[in-house]
């Protein structure tokens, strides 16, 4: 798996996010199209990132001027992909291919399909981008 190279913007935003929430983050994606910043927080840091009744994440969102989303990191590619799709329920993740050509085939119940895709595909975009960066998965496809 290749080393993740963080841009200066990302490093600055991660530092700002950590200072505001107290949660440590390992990666971020600036999604200008959807006016949001997605942070990958370390395992066990989700509660700290969100804060009581969402206070930490709201504060970070106001300070940074964009909506903030957080995904909890997992060393397991399958669990990480499930985390990317929350709150949609993922029933299975199957992998095809090898190395950087691996494709994750994700199954969700019909009633969660809209949540998994997200408005204008923003949730599937998040899962694809983060899975590629964190676990060298070429593509994520909904079954």
Q: Per-residue pLDDT tens, the chain, 143 aa: give them.
A: 445 566 788 899 999 999 999 999 999 999 988 899 999 999 999 999 999 999 999 999 999 999 999 999 999 999 999 999 999 999 999 999 987 799 999 999 999 999 999 999 999 999 999 999 999 999 999 99
Q: Is residue 66 part of a domain?
A: yes
Residue 93, domain member (yes or no): yes
Question: Which residue in the block uniquely carries the two structure tokens 């991660």?
Answer: 14
- The model's pTM is 0.91
**Structural domain boundaries, residue 48:** 8-72
Do 52 and 86 belong to one domain?
no
Residue 18, domain CATH: 3.30.300.20
Question: Which of 54, 72, 90 is at the close of a domain?
Answer: 72
Task: Check residue 118 and report its DSSP letter.
Answer: -
- Angstrom distance (rounded) from CA 100 to CA 118: 26
Asked whether 133 and 127 are in contact (CB, 8 A), the reply is: no
- Domain assignment of residue 3, yes or no: no
**CB of 68 within 8 A of CB of 17?**
yes
Please give the span between the terminal C-alpha atoms of the chain, in angstroms, as a whole number.
Answer: 26
39 found inside a domain: yes
Tokens representing 63? 């300070």
């Amino acid at each position: 798996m290749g080393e993740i190279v963080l841009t200066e913007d990302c490093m600055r935003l991660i530092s700002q996010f950590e200072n505001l929430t107290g949660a440590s983050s390992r990666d971020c994606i600036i999604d200008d199209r959807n006016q949001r910043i997605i942070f990958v927080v370390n395992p066990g840091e989700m509660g700290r990132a969100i804060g009581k009744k969402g206070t930490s994440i709201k504060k970070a969102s106001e300070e940074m001027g964009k909506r903030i989303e957080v995904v909890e990191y997992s060393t397991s590619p399958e669990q990480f992909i499930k985390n990317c799709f929350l709150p949609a329920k993922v029933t299975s993740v199957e992998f095809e291919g090898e190395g950087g050509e691996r494709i994750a085939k994700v199954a969700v119940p019909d009633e969660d399909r809209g949540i998994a895709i997200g408005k204008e595909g923003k949730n599937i975009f998040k899962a694809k981008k983060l899975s590629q960066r964190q676990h060298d998965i070429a593509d994520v496809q909904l079954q």
